């Protein structure tokens, strides 16, 4: 009888562990949370993002926290930013932003949590600064992130990331490139493949924009000299770009898992 009770307790404990593991795996699968850091000599810019990986709208709320200790009193200090928002399918949105002193050596926890309206935790990201025992997120210097030519010059055998090339022929084409590139940078996509925006002549002096990632044609459309139309096309192009790199990341994960 005692042996049977022990087996039952063990089985219940295994179920609890499995339940916790399954719950952990749910995070960042439908809606992903991401904290992105940019650093210069004076400041660290902290930006929180959410990305909708599904094909449906999500009504959500977020909390981004900066948790540290006061160096004089050693009391715990916690500053929160929060709000509600709606994410459309494939959309990546900036949620909150804050700035830290780059010279501050205080151990600081950055935490971003994204919930649905039923208070289910869908996305989370956590970064710890100034603590060697923690795995830190890569901090990308501002000059490196913005200077494409320098990154080419320093690439010698290193994977190039975040490159967007332009070959346009008309003002609407150049406007589309500017809209797309601004959104690419704002969403911190930093993809491992080169993005190319080409404008080709077609019948009747019309032109067509072709968006390639590597050798893959992601999107093509005829150019119209209407600002609202080009904005809509740039929005759609960014959604497809984010989805492409997300699939690429997932495919690499599957290859590693089954290798």
Is the C-alpha dihedral spanning 242, 161, 114, 15 positive or negative? Answer: positive
Which pLDDT score is estimated for 68? Answer: 85
d(CA 219, CA 210): 6
Q: Are 38 and 139 in contact (CB under 8 A)?
A: yes
CB atoms near residue 218 (< 10 Å): 16
Residue with tokens 């609890």: 16
User: What's the predicted TM-score (pTM) here?
Assistant: 0.55
Which pLDDT score is estimated for 99? Answer: 92
DSSP β-ladder status, 216-222 and 31-39: unpaired
Which pLDDT score is estimated for 131? Answer: 72
What is the DSSP secondary-structure string of 225-251?
A: S-HHHHHHHHHHHHHHHHHHHHHHHHH
The CA-to-CA distance between both ends of the chain, in Å, stands at 45
d(CA 7, CA 184): 55
Q: In what helix (H) or strand (E) does residue 181 lie, and over which residues does it extend?
A: helix 171-186
3-state secondary structure 54-112: CCCCEEEEEEEEEEEECCCCCCEEEEEEEEEEEECCCCEEEEEEEEEECCCCCCEEEEE
Cα–Cα distance list, 114 to 34, 35, 55, 81 (Å): 10, 12, 18, 12
Which pLDDT score is estimated for 147? Answer: 43
Q: Are 98 and 46 in contact (CB under 8 A)?
A: yes
Which pLDDT score is estimated for 7? Answer: 44
List of domains in the chain: 31-141 (2.60.40.2420), 147-258 (3.30.160)
Say what angle helices 171-186 and 227-258 make with each other, to 10 degrees.
Answer: 50
Instruction: Please choose, from the candidates 128, 137, 126, the residue with its C-alpha nearest in 3D space to the C-alpha of residue 64.
Output: 126
d(CA 245, CA 259): 21
Residue 15: is it exposed, middle or buried by C-beta count within 10 angstroms (0-12/13-18/19+)? Answer: exposed
Per-residue pLDDT of the chain (259 residues; tens, 9 = 90+): 444 444 444 444 444 444 443 444 467 888 999 999 998 888 999 999 999 988 899 999 999 999 887 666 667 788 889 999 999 988 999 999 999 998 888 888 899 999 998 888 899 999 988 875 443 343 434 344 334 444 443 444 445 678 888 888 899 999 999 999 999 988 888 888 889 999 998 887 889 999 999 889 999 999 999 999 999 999 999 999 999 999 988 876 554 444 4
**Collapsing DSSP states into helix, strand and coil, what is residue 116?**
strand
């Amino acid at each position: 009888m005692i042996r049977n009770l022990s087996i039952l307790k063990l089985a219940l404990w295994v179920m609890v562990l499995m339940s916790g593991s399954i719950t952990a795996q749910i995070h960042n699968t439908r809606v992903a949370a991401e904290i992105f850091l940019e650093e210069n000599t004076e400041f660290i810019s902290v930006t929180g993002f959410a990305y909708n990986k599904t094909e449906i709208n999500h009504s959500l709320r977020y909390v981004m926290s900066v948790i540290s200790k006061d160096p004089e009193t050693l009391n715990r200090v916690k500053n929160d930013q929060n709000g509600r928002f709606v994410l459309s399918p494939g959309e990546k949105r900036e949620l909150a932003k804050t700035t830290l002193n780059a010279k501050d050596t205080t151990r600081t926890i950055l935490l971003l949590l994204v919930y649905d309206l039923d208070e289910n935790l869908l996305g989370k990201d956590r970064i710890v600064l100034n603590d060697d025992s923690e795995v830190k997120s890569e901090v990308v210097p501002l000059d490196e992130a913005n200077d494409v030519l320098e990154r080419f010059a320093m690439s010698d055998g290193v994977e190039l990331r975040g490159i967007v090339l332009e070959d346009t022929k008309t003002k609407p084409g150049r406007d589309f490139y500017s809209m797309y590139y601004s959104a690419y940078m704002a969403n911190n996509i930093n993809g491992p493949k080169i993005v190319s925006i080409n404008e080709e002549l077609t019948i009747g002096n019309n032109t067509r924009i072709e968006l390639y990632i590597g050798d893959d044609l992601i999107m093509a459309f005829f150019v119209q000299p209407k600002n609202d139309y080009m904005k809509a096309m740039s929005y759609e192009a960014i959604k497809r770009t984010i989805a492409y790199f997300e699939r690429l990341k997932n495919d690499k994960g599957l290859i590693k898992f089954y290798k």
